[in-house]
Amino acid sequence: MPHVNRDDCVLVIIDAQPGFYGPERTDVDRQAHAAALERCAWVAGVAAALEVPTIVTEEDAATNGPTASEISAALPGGAPVFDKVVFGADDNPEIDAAVRGHGRGTVVVVGTETDVCVAHSAMGWGSAGLRVIVVHDAVYSAGEGHRNGLNRLWQEGIELVSAKELYYEWLRALRAVRDFDAQHPHLATPPGFSL
């Protein structure tokens, strides 16, 4: 498999809405979801700094709320936000058209939930011939859903990388990393990592 070329990538942030894990959920679920959203925001910030096009989806925003504010803040130029009515983002014609409209062959996926919307989207774009990469520490499902979703994605041939791995793939060289870190010190390290 070739390295990940950021000039061939589109980032898709799927349903990164805090309301998916509201007060009725356990503290553990809410905290794990919040950590995944924080990692999504970091990936979004790196993508914005590197001018990787980004597309955001929301499922039932009236119930689940809008995209997490930290993610919106990480996209200073904004990003198109699409209402997703079919679990697989690729099965929503306007979302699929937005992804394909960039003419890039790699879709990088982060968001919620690993075993449903993330999995359906990744498998859909993968079966349609696009290279799909899921950032495994920037996606989340409660309980066994996260592990089950990652296992299914792996079995379906979807690439799984960490946020840190994606960062180094996108930058590729020591000089590029040092220059990026100097220009964007708040993005030098993914949340939860220390270098």
Tally of CB atoms within 10 A around 176: 13
Query: Picking from 34-38, 57-61, 97-101, 103-107, which range would have the lowest pLDDT averaged per residue?
Result: 34-38
Report pLDDT for 92. Answer: 98
Report pLDDT for 190. Answer: 86
The single-letter code of the amino acid at 72 is S
Average pLDDT of the residues in 7-26: 88
Element (H, E) at 71: helix 69-74
- Tell me the average pLDDT of the chain: 94
pTM score: 0.95
Spatial strand order in the sheet of 81-83: 81-83, 54-58, 9-14, 106-112, 131-140, 159-161
Which residues does 44 contact at the CB level (< 8 Å), separation at least 6?
11, 13, 54, 71, 74, 75, 79, 110
Report pLDDT for 59. Answer: 97
Query: Picking from 68-77, 90-99, 122-131, 157-166, which range would have the lowest pLDDT averaged per residue?
Result: 68-77
Report pLDDT for 38. Answer: 95
Which residues does 31 contact at the CB level (< 8 Å), separation at least 6?
none
- End-to-end alpha carbon distance in the chain: 26
Q: What phi-psi label fits residue 51: left (phi over 0), alpha (psi between -120 and 50 degrees) or beta? A: left
Report pLDDT for 17. Answer: 95
For residue 193, what pLDDT band results from cuts at 50, 70 and 90? Answer: low
Q: Tokens standing for 143? A: 């309980």
Share of the chain above pLDDT 90, in %: 85
**How far apart are alpha carbons 122 and 117 in whole angstroms?**
8
For residue 141, what pLDDT band results from cuts at 50, 70 and 90? Answer: very high
Average pLDDT of the residues in 31-44: 94
The single-letter code of the amino acid at 56 is V
Q: What phi-psi label fits residue 129: left (phi over 0), alpha (psi between -120 and 50 degrees) or beta? A: left
Q: Is 26 exposed, middle or buried (0-12, 13-18, 19+ CB in 10 A)?
A: exposed
For residue 134, what pLDDT band results from cuts at 50, 70 and 90? Answer: very high
Report pLDDT for 28. Answer: 78
CATH topology of domain 13-185: Rossmann fold (3.40.50)
Average pLDDT of the residues in 155-175: 97
For residue 195, what pLDDT band results from cuts at 50, 70 and 90? Answer: very low
